[in-house]
C-alpha cells in the first residue's frame, strides 16, 4: 500500500491544479493576434467547413486570463471541442491503476536512468517544494516522466501565479457546461502508455527541460504567456526549445483528426500543445504541404 502514496500525491496535485485552472472565468479582452489558426480546404469559400486550431502552453502565468474575445467567439461557433486528452473524465482509481501499469521502472531505479546532474536538480526541487523535504529517493521506482509530472505539479501548486494547462481545462469545463461534444485525440491510458515507451534518455531530456523552465521561474513563464496572447510564435520558438520527438505520435493523430473534420463539414475547435504546431515538421506545415489553407487569426 505504501507504493501508492507517491502516486496519490501526484494525482492530487494534478487534480487540484486542473480544478483551479478550469474554474477560472474568462472575461473580454482585446489582443491584435492570437495563437490560433483557421484551417479550410483551399477552394472552399462557403465558410461552412472550418477547423480552428488553437495552440496552448502547458504552464502559463495567470495573466493568460482573460482570454481574447476572438477565442470565445470561435468556441461559440463550433459544434465540437477536440483536445489531446480529457483527464477530467478519469477517476482517481483509474489514474492510479494506469500509473502503476505504465509509470514503474523495471529492474532498475531512477538514479540509474538519470544523469547525475538531472538527478541532483530533480532531487533539489522535490526537497524545495515538499513540506517534509522529501527526496527523490522516495520515488526511486518511478519512470522519469512520472518525476517530471510530479515536479511540474509541485511547482504549479506552490506558485502564486502559475497555471497548468489552463486553456484546454477552461474550454473542456465550458464545453461540459454547455453540453458540447468533447473529442479526445488519445485517451489518458493511451497517453500514459505512450510516455512509458519513450526511451529513458528522452524521458530524462523532458524532465531536464521542465527543470530548466522551473528554475527560471516566473519571468520565463510570464514572457511566454505574453507572447502566446500576442500570437508571437517566433518569439515562443526563441524562448523555448520545443522537443518535437516526444510529440510525433500525437501530432500525427491531431493532423489526421483535423483533415477528417475538414472532409465531414461543420466547424470544429481543436486545442493542441503549441509545440506540435510550429516548425518544419509541425502540424501547420503538414497541413500547408497537403494543400490546405492555414491562416493565423
Alpha carbons 97 and 12: distance in angstroms, whole number:
14
Gyration radius (Cα) of the chain, Å: 19
Q: Check residue 80 and give its pLDDT.
A: 94
Name the DSSP class of 231. Answer: T
Determine the average pLDDT of the residues in 110-135: 92
Burial class (CB in 10 A: 0-12, 13-18, 19+), 1: exposed
The winner for highest mean pLDDT among 61-65, 147-151, 171-175 is: 171-175
Q: Closest Cα partner for 164 from 3, 4, 24?
A: 24
Asked whether the predicted pLDDT for residue 282 surpasses 50, the reply is yes
Query: pLDDT-based confidence at 23, cuts 50/70/90?
Result: very low
Separate counts of helices (H) and strands (E) for the chain? 12, 8
Alpha helix (H) ranges present in 39-143? 69-77, 92-102, 110-113, 116-129
Asked whether the predicted pLDDT for residue 11 surpasses 60, the reply is no
Q: Check residue 6 and give its pLDDT.
A: 41
Asked whether the predicted pLDDT for residue 117 surpasses 80, the reply is yes
Contacts of residue 268, Cβ cutoff 8 Å, sequence gap at least 6: 50, 51, 52, 78, 79, 80, 81, 82, 261
Alpha carbons 46 and 23: distance in angstroms, whole number:
36
CA 44, distance to chain mean position in Å, is 31
CA distances from 57 to 45, 60, 124, 196, 207 (A): 31, 6, 25, 22, 16
Query: pLDDT-based confidence at 126, cuts 50/70/90?
Result: very high
Query: pLDDT-based confidence at 241, cuts 50/70/90?
Result: low
For the chain, the average pLDDT equals 83
Asked whether the predicted pLDDT for residue 20 surpasses 60, the reply is no
Asked whether the predicted pLDDT for residue 27 surpasses 80, the reply is no
> Long-range contacts made by residues 132-141, C-beta under 8 angstroms, separation at least 24?
136/110, 136/111, 137/111, 138/6, 139/6, 139/110, 140/109, 140/110, 140/111, 141/3, 141/104, 141/105, 141/109, 141/110
Strands 266-273 and 80-83: parallel
Dihedral (CA of 126, 242, 253, 15) sign: positive
Instruction: Record the cell numbers describing residue 185, joined without a space.
Output: 485525440
Q: Closest Cα partner for 17 from 207, 239, 170, 236?
A: 170
Alpha carbons 185 and 2: distance in angstroms, whole number:
34
Q: Check residue 247 and give its pLDDT.
A: 62
Asked whether the predicted pLDDT for residue 14 surpasses 70, the reply is no
Amino acid at each position: 500500500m505504501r507504493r501508492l502514496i507517491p502516486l496519490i500525491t501526484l494525482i492530487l496535485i494534478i487534480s487540484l491544479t486542473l480544478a483551479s485552472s478550469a474554474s477560472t472565468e474568462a472575461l473580454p479582452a482585446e489582443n491584435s493576434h492570437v495563437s490560433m489558426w483557421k484551417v479550410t480546404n483551399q477552394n472552399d469559400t462557403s465558410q461552412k467547413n472550418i477547423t480552428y486550431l488553437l495552440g496552448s502552453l502547458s504552464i502559463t502565468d495567470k495573466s493568460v486570463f482573460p482570454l481574447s474575445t476572438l477565442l470565445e467567439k470561435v468556441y461559440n461557433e463550433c459544434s465540437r471541442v477536440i483536445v489531446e486528452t480529457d483527464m477530467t473524465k478519469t477517476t482517481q482509481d483509474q489514474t492510479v491503476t494506469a500509473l502503476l501499469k505504465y509509470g514503474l521502472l523495471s529492474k532498475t531505479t531512477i538514479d540509474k536512468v538519470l544523469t547525475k546532474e538531472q538527478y541532483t536538480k530533480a532531487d533539489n526541487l522535490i526537497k524545495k517544494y515538499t513540506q517534509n523535504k522529501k527526496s527523490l529517493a522516495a520515488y526511486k521506482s518511478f519512470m522519469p516522466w512520472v518525476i517530471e509530472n510530479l515536479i511540474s505539479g509541485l511547482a504549479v501548486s506552490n506558485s502564486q501565479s502559475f497555471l497548468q494547462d489552463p486553456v484546454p481545462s477552461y474550454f473542456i469545463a465550458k464545453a461540459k457546461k454547455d453540453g458540447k461534444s468533447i473529442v479526445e485525440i488519445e485517451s489518458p491510458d493511451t497517453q500514459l502508455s505512450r510516455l512509458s515507451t519513450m526511451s529513458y534518455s528522452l524521458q530524462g531530456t523532458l524532465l531536464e527541460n521542465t527543470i530548466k523552465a522551473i528554475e527560471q521561474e516566473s519571468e520565463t513563464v510570464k514572457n511566454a504567456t505574453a507572447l502566446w496572447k500576442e500570437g508571437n510564435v517566433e518569439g515562443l520558438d526563441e524562448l523555448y526549445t520545443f522537443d518535437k520527438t516526444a510529440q510525433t505520435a500525437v501530432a500525427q493523430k491531431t493532423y489526421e483528426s483535423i483533415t477528417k473534420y475538414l472532409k465531414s463539414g461543420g466547424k470544429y475547435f481543436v486545442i493542441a500543445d503549441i509545440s506540435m504546431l510550429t516548425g518544419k515538421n509541425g502540424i501547420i506545415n503538414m497541413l500547408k504541404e497537403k494543400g490546405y489553407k492555414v491562416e493565423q487569426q
